[in-house]
Structure 1
Amino acid sequence: MRSLFFVLSALSVMALAFWVYQENHRTREALAQTKDLQGEIGQMRETLGVLRAEWAYLNRPDRLRELAAINYDRLGLVPLRPEQFQRVSNVSYPAPDLPPIMVPIDVMSTQEGAQ
């Protein structure tokens, strides 16, 4: 009876050891993947910072003014003036499309029934 107990105890310890080994391996893989993702996020943030700096550099008002002057003949760009702006209430928006009439109503019969 004791030997059976020792054998079962040894098997359970080995099973638990195998389970702990697998969990340790999965945890290390998850940590390595997390580290890789953190590095990738850092690189993307750095790239985004560089792109924002380039965008700010390319959109300098003096540079854009100079480009507009150089390409005036081809593009016909003119500087903005205050009188070019209007109130939103002055904008004429197109009328919305009405949905098709699916169930027509006979107006003549409703007028006769009202009298």
Structure 2
Amino acid sequence: MRPVLYVLSFLALIALGFWAYRENYATQAALKEMAGLQRQIVGLREALSVQRAEWAYLNRPDRLRELATVNFDRLGLLPMEPGQFGTAAQVAYPRQTLPEIDMPVDIQAPEPIEEGL
């Protein structure tokens, strides 16, 4: 009976060793994949910061003013003036309709409580 127990224990030990070996390599692969994703995230963040800097550079007010001046005839832009805007009285606000009261409730003030009773 003991030799069978020894053989089963040895086989279980080999199976656990094989399982631990596989898990170790699976963990290492997952860590490598995570490191690659983190490097990719860093690269994308750097690219985004470069694009934001380019956007800020291209949208400088003096550059846009110069472009508008150079392309004035083709764009047909005119300077903004206060007379181009309407007044607040010209805004058509929607009328608010009050909801109908279906079941009115009579609310009365509570009677005062007398102290000292």
TM-score (norm: length of structure 1): 0.72
What's 1:17 paired with? 17
- Name the CA distance, whole Å, in 1 between partners of 2:3 and 2:35: 47
Give the root-mean-square deviation of aligned CA atoms.
1.9
Aligned length: 92
What's 1:84 paired with? 84
> Aligned to 2:23, what secondary structure does the other structure show?
helix
Displacement, 1:91? 6.0
Considering fraction of residues, name the structure with more helix.
1
> Aligned to 1:40, what secondary structure does the other structure show?
helix
Structure 1 runs of 4+ off > 6 angstroms? Answer: none
Displacement, 1:87? 6.6
> Aligned to 2:38, what secondary structure does the other structure show?
helix
Structure 2: runs of 5+ lacking an equivalent: 93-117
What's 1:68 paired with? 68
Over the matched positions of the two proteins, sequence identity in percent amounts to 55
- Name the CA distance, whole Å, in 2 between partners of 1:8 and 1:27: 28
TM-score (norm: length of structure 2): 0.71
What's 1:96 paired with? none
Counterparts of 1:36-115 in structure 2, within 5 Å, are: 36-86=36-86, 90=90
